[in-house]
Amino acid sequence: MPRILDGAAIAAAIKHDVAADVRTLATKGVRPGLAAVLVGNVAASEIYVRNKVQTCAELGLYSDLITPPDTVTTAELLSLVASLNTRDDIDGILVQLPLPKSIDARAVLDAIDPAKDVDGLHPVNAGRLQSGRPALAPCTPAGVIEILKRCALPIAGQHAVVVGRSDIVGKPAAMLLLNQNATVTICHSKTRDLPSITRQADILVAAIGRPGFVTPEMVKPGATLIDVGINRLTTREEFDRFFLGNEKREAAFAKRGSVIVGDIHPKAFELAGAYTPVPGGVGLLTIAMLMVNTVHAAKMRRGL
């Protein structure tokens, strides 16, 4: 039977470690602080940011939720970021994406002080990551590494294949794996004969944003499968493609009118040595790693 890599348990262990770090910093008069900027009223973003703020409270971090209206201009957001850069009580700044189309999102993200860039999206942090220097890494790829390490799954010397090349997941995941001495191949939708490459993977990371994109014939038996995808299925036809005959998912679909599937076809997990489920896998580590980054930023800013 494949080993299921429990994201909830790993996230809980990470949060436990963060809370201990926060208590230690408190003895030095330091309380890590996170500023979350949420523009407008996007329901999914509101839920996600609320969870981040709630986790800060649970672990003892300070948080400041700032909610400009969706009429805010790029210049106003840049001014807000500049003020947060100078606040000593703020160690981490995150600007929740997506921003309204009227906003120059790249300019706003680039304006964040790299030392406070807890989402790890600033070009300075990307460059540090690429060169193997200490950096604030994007939270989801950092969570992938934590899963592998905390589950005692080997990375060094393994052939890791990353399917997806986004700046948020694919590229930084590849760099983090390379920095852990894996041999890394980056693939994408234009890769020629993709299955022949993915079948070589000891560690296969799927982050391409397409439901069930990685099929069983693309997987080497015994491989570790890391599924970063979160795709919502809302039609019966989509559901039947992946979960026909699955009573548990059938009940969820009947109740909610939708279910979640990753970028790896559920049938492919049967070939794995270990895998992250969707839901219940990598996604649960993103907020935990945001807390790690905020505490790390607090330490780095103070030379601790």
| Catalytic positions, written as ranges | 52, 96, 119
CA distance 45 to 40: 9
Is-contact 233 239, C-beta < 8 A? Answer: yes
Number of Cβ atoms within 10 Å of the Cβ of 193? 7
Helix 139-150 to helix 7-26 angle, to the nearest 10 degrees?
100
Number of Cβ atoms within 10 Å of the Cβ of 262? 31
Coil, helix or strand at residue 254: helix
Find where tokens 């299921």 sit: 4
CA distance 279 to 234: 16
Number of Cβ atoms within 10 Å of the Cβ of 73? 13
CA distance 149 to 14: 12
CA distance 137 to 144: 11
